[in-house]
Structure formats: structure tokens, C-alpha cells
């Protein structure tokens, strides 16, 4: 694939986008690899030569979900809510050729930057749709997808409209009977937001689990928890094996342990929804 030249082989690319300031930081050790930061918060890591290279812990966990959503190599129909630098769509396109993928990203200037500076293979069946994530999801045909991924952050926080039972119900409607819903959740002690998100998903789906580092699950540090939910039984053993083998090993919380984790926290509705908590300074490499 022919790629347009960047500003320089070792130069940071800085652009004003709709949501603030975007930076593309080159990896000094990996040619053609870049980290996307938005307003000082690292959002995505992309290796243009190897789309299967995943540096961010939570992206690896989302990739595990995609890996077990269907037999190896089988195409998937995927809706990505939140685009960033398209790390997960690139991974799925590389590992599951002929997958049909749709990405909803509200920041059109960011889309333009990523297309120009970190272009995707034109042979990939990847549609990038400008627009609000919830509105795009609401307009999706019923049963159109095998996997719906929520990974939307504005100012390092998930917007409130993407945290409610009504929102998760839209995802369930867009999924086929055996489809999988997954969401990237960021939280820290006392994990009130994460507990509410588990209760919210449980109000819609009968089967769910959470992938995270033990320290995050215990509230010892702020971090990412990947929520997975489905109408059908989840491949818990395979998810646990893959998660335990990560560079930052995690575990899969499910069943009674997950019930205890959520406790008596009520599901979140549109009327009670709030944004996810603001990460402490220094979390995820946040510079301000």
C-alpha cells in the first residue's frame, strides 16, 4: 500500500481537530508506528507495517473478544463506536479478511487526519461514518452485526448517553442472536462507575464477564476494564487463557464473583446516567 509521506520520519504531527489538539507521536523503536494523543491523552497505537501489533493493554483485551467471537479467520460484521486511529478495525481486517466493519466517529477532522497520515488498506471493507455514536447505533438495522464495540472517550471520559440501559439495548438490537457486545470502561476506586456498568449490561444481556488486571478490579489503581456481554454463553476459559497471557496479565471476572462485584448497584438509565470519572493525572500517560 502506498502511503503519503509524514512530516518527517521522527517528527511529531500536531493538528487542531474538532475535539481539541491531536498529536501523532512516532515510536523511536518501531518504524511506521505511531501513538495518537488527544488533548494530551494517549488514545491509540498503530503500527502501519503490522496491524496485529497491539501496545495498549485494553486494546489487546478487546482483540481477545474479537478473536473468540467466531472461529479463527471467519469474517465478522463489526460496529465500532469510537474510531481513534482505527487500531482494532485494522487488527480485525488483518486477522479476519473480508470482515465488514463500520466505524462511528464524531470528530470529522480527526477522521481526515487519520485517513491522511495513517491510511488504511483500501481493500479492507471498512466504512468510517462521521456522526454521534448513539445516533449511528440507533440507525443500525436490527441484527446487522456480530460484534459491537464501545470505545468512546471525550476528554478522557465516556459520555453519559453511552452508559445507560437504553444505550446497551440499542447495541443488543443491532446484534444477531449470538452477537457479542463489548465496552472499554475506565474507572478507579471505589469502582462505582464500573459496578454500575456491569449492572446495566446485566439488565440487557444474560451472560457477561469483565476482563481486567487484578489491581484494577480491586480498586488499587485507575485503569481499564473490558466488559463483554451476549445472549449466548461466552467462551470464558479461552478468554481467561488469552487474558492471563498478556504482557500485563489480567483475569476474567464472571458468575458469582461478578455478581458480588456489582453488589446492589442499580442499572444506569438515561435519567441517571453520568460521564465516567476523570482519570487522575498520570493515568494512561495523561500529561495534563
Instruction: Look at residue 132 and tell me whether its pLDDT is greater than 80.
Output: yes
Angle in degrees, CA 270, 275, 280, rounded to 5 = 165
Instruction: Look at residue 268 and tell me whether its pLDDT is greater than 70.
Output: yes
The CA distance from 280 to 181, in Å, is 28
Instruction: Look at residue 8 and tell me whether its pLDDT is greater than 80.
Output: no
Domains detected in the chain: 54-276 (3.40.50.150)
Residue 38 vs residues 12, 73, 186, 283: alpha-carbon distances, Å: 13, 33, 16, 14
Residue 282: predicted pLDDT: 64
Instruction: Look at residue 4 and tell me whether its pLDDT is greater than 70.
Output: no
Buried b vs exposed e over 153-192: b needs ≥16 C-beta within 10 Å? Answer: bbebbbbebbbbbbbbebbbbbbeeebbbbbbbbbbeebe
Report the percent of the chain where pLDDT is more than 70: 94
Any bridge partners for residue 25, and if so which?
35
Residue 9: predicted pLDDT: 53
Q: Which residue has the cell 460521564?
A: 275
Instruction: Look at residue 92 and tell me whether its pLDDT is greater than 80.
Output: yes
Q: Model's pTM, two decimal places?
A: 0.94
For residue 11, name the pLDDT band (cuts at 50, 70, 90): confident
| Radius of gyration in angstroms for the set of CA atoms belonging to the chain, rounded to a whole number | 18
For residue 154, name the pLDDT band (cuts at 50, 70, 90): confident
The CA distance from 126 to 63, in Å, is 17
The CA distance from 179 to 70, in Å, is 10
Instruction: Look at residue 237 and tell me whether its pLDDT is greater than 60.
Output: yes
3-state secondary structure of 81: strand
Instruction: Look at residue 5 and tell me whether its pLDDT is greater than 50.
Output: no
Mean pLDDT computed over 251-278: 97
Residue 288: predicted pLDDT: 44
Q: Mean pLDDT over all residues of the chain?
A: 94
pLDDT tens by residue, 34-90:
999 999 889 999 999 999 999 999 999 999 999 999 999 999 999 999 999 999 999
The CA distance from 31 to 179, in Å, is 36
Mean pLDDT computed over 130-155: 96
Query: Which residue in 35, 44, 148 sits closest to 102, CA to CA?
Result: 148
pLDDT tens by residue, 164-213:
999 999 999 999 999 999 999 999 999 999 999 999 999 999 999 999 99
- Beta-sheet strands, E only, within the chain: 13-17, 20-26, 33-38, 41-47, 77-81, 100-105, 126-130, 145-150, 175-187, 207-212, 223-230, 251-254
Residue 281: predicted pLDDT: 74
Amino acid at each position: 500500500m502506498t502511503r503519503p509521506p509524514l512530516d518527517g520520519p521522527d517528527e511529531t504531527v500536531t493538528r487542531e481537530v474538532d475535539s481539541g489538539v491531536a498529536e501523532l507521536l512516532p515510536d523511536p523503536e518501531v518504524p511506521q508506528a505511531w501513538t495518537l494523543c488527544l488533548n494530551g491523552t494517549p488514545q491509540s497505537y498503530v503500527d502501519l507495517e503490522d496491524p496485529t501489533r497491539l501496545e495498549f493493554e485494553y486494546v489487546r483485551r478487546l482483540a481477545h473478544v474479537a478473536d473468540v467471537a467466531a472461529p479463527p479467520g471467519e469474517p465478522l460484521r463489526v460496529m465500532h463506536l469510537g474510531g481513534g486511529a482505527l487500531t482494532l478495525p485494522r487488527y480485525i481486517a488483518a486477522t479476519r479478511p473480508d470482515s465488514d466493519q463500520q466505524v462511528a466517529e464524531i470528530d470529522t477532522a480527526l477522521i481526515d487526519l487519520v485517513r491522511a497520515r495513517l491510511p488504511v488498506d483500501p481493500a479492507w471493507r471498512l466504512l468510517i461514518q462521521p456522526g454521534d455514536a448513539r445516533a449511528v447505533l440507533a440507525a443500525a438495522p436490527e441484527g446487522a452485526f456480530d460484534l459491537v464495540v464501545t470505545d468512546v472517550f471525550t476528554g478522557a471520559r465516556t459520555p453519559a448517553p453511552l452508559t445507560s440501559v437504553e444505550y446497551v439495548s440499542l447495541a443488543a438490537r443491532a446484534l444477531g442472536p449470538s452477537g457479542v457486545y463489548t465496552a472499554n470502561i475506565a474507572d478507579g476506586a471505589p469502582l462505582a462507575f464500573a459496578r454500575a456498568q456491569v449492572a446495566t449490561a446485566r439488565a440487557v444481556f444474560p451472560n457477561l464477564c469483565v476482563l481486567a488486571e487484578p489491581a484494577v478490579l480491586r480498586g488499587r489503581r485507575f485503569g481499564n476494564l473490558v466488559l463483554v456481554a451476549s445472549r449466548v454463553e461466552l467462551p470464558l476459559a479461552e478468554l481467561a487463557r488469552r487474558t492471563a497471557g498478556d504482557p500485563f496479565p489480567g483475569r476474567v471476572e464472571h458468575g458469582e464473583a461478578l455478581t458480588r462485584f456489582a453488589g446492589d448497584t442499580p442499572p444506569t438509565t438515561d435519567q441517571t446516567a453520568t460521564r465516567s470519572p476523570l482519570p487522575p493525572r498520570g493515568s494512561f500517560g495523561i500529561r495534563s
